[in-house]
Amino acid sequence: MRAVAMFPKERQIRVIDRPSPALEADDQVKLRMLDVGVCGTDHDIAHFEYGAPPAGEPYLVMGHESLGEVIEIGSAVTGINPGDLIVTTVRRPCGRPECRPCEHDRPDFCMTGAYTERGIKGRHGFMTDEVVDHAKNMHAVPRALADIAVLTEPLTIAEKAFVELGSILTRMPWIGSELDPGKFDAKSIEKRGLNAVVLGAGPVGLLAGLACLVRGLDTWIYSRESATSSRAAWVDSVGAHYIESGTLPVDQLGKKVGNVDLIIEATGSAALTFAALPAIGKNGIMVLTGVPGRKANVTIDAEGLMRDLVLENQLLYGTVNAGPASFDHSIRDLGRFLARWPKQTRALITGRFEPDEINDVLAGGTDAIKSVIKFNAPTAGAA
């Protein structure tokens, strides 16, 4: 079967032939892969700045944003059937007894750093014809979402942030008293007129913008593309507001938006992110989701930032990977997006390509929002 593999020593990415995987445990499921998204992490891997093959192997099968179709199940598997569409989680527990998060199947909070990640770190990914994994790592997707379900994993970045925000907002009783911990109720938020700014108009930023909109937040997207660009037009078409970064310094966002209640960073730029800190409003929150490269030092006004964080009750936190609830929320919200903005949601996927086009995709220009490597088509008439 085909697989897109990264060879770090050879500094090559190419399609190889691998044996088809077999079920090795009664709780495993075999998938025929349909779509695999290409993201910024894959670009970093393609530059050989990131990514590690499994121990003792010369290559890493790439790809962590996936959609597959069930073709075989183990005897102990329940709730998953042949023909089901499946999105599979990425990170796996470290297995060390001292790590309580991994012991509780929450490797997104791993304490040791010895976790593995499919298609990224120490474990082969999904950019191949067939994959086997444990059923507990899989989430069923309605067939109505088949053409956009590959967006599930990148959306989990925002979804995990909102899971955490549901708990954080309970610190303010006039906002959070009607919220259950870990939930973010759209009607409760809408009544209070909160706003959100998303930094970046890449796929994660645009998906985060939709996640903000369906929760009733007045949503702004701040990015470097021109205000006359297709991305700016997309933002306007879903009911959000676009700000071209060249027209407004990021620390002045409050002058345009008002008190900035929430900033979601989706750029991976440390310089932009720390420049934006003064824009956090009173009692505001900034969520960091990007992982910057170690390219240059960033100078900040540490005393001023610390003073604002303390005196204005601000919160700054980072979030990485996602747990099971975030995948479930992603699938739910993709359905909401598709019902409310069918054309715009589908437009986030700007191209589907064959596996042997991977190097062209990785070398592509900046116009693409989300490129997808297509391995197979869904089975017609499957349940």
CATH number of the domain where residue 221 is located: 3.40.50.720
How many domains, in total, are found in the chain? 2
Phi/psi for 50 (5° steps) reads -155, 165
Beta bridge partners of 2: 17
| Contact between residue 314 and residue 254 where contact means Cβ atoms under 8 Å apart | no
DSSP state of 224: S
Specify whether 19 is located in the same domain as 161.
no
**What's the pLDDT tens digit per position in 230-259?**
999 999 999 999 999 999 999 999 999 999
Domain ranges, residue 58:
2-148+348-374
| Contact between residue 280 and residue 214 where contact means Cβ atoms under 8 Å apart | no
Specify whether 31 is located in the same domain as 99.
yes
| The pLDDT of residue 180 | 39
Residues with Cβ within 8 Å of 192's Cβ and at least 6 positions away in sequence, in order, are: 174, 175
Distance CA 344, CA 234 (A): 7
Q: Helices (H), strands (E): how many in the chain?
A: 13, 19
| Sign of torsion over alpha carbons 356, 360, 366, 367 | negative
| The pLDDT of residue 178 | 40
Q: pTM, whole model, 2 decimals?
A: 0.93
**What's the pLDDT tens digit per position in 100-117?**
999 999 999 999 999 999
**What's the pLDDT tens digit per position in 20-78?**
999 999 999 999 999 999 999 999 999 998 899 999 999 999 999 999 999 999 999 99
Q: Is 362 exposed, middle or buried (0-12, 13-18, 19+ CB in 10 A)?
A: middle
Distance CA 144, CA 347 (A): 16
C-alpha 258, offset from chain centre: 28
Distance CA 160, CA 172 (A): 20
Distance CA 58, CA 302 (A): 44
With respect to residue 78, please indicate whether it lies within any of the assigned structural domains.
Answer: yes
Beta bridge partners of 29: 73, 133
With respect to residue 45, please indicate whether it lies within any of the assigned structural domains.
Answer: yes
Specify whether 180 is located in the same domain as 301.
yes
Specify whether 229 is located in the same domain as 284.
yes
| The pLDDT of residue 192 | 60
With respect to residue 196, please indicate whether it lies within any of the assigned structural domains.
Answer: yes
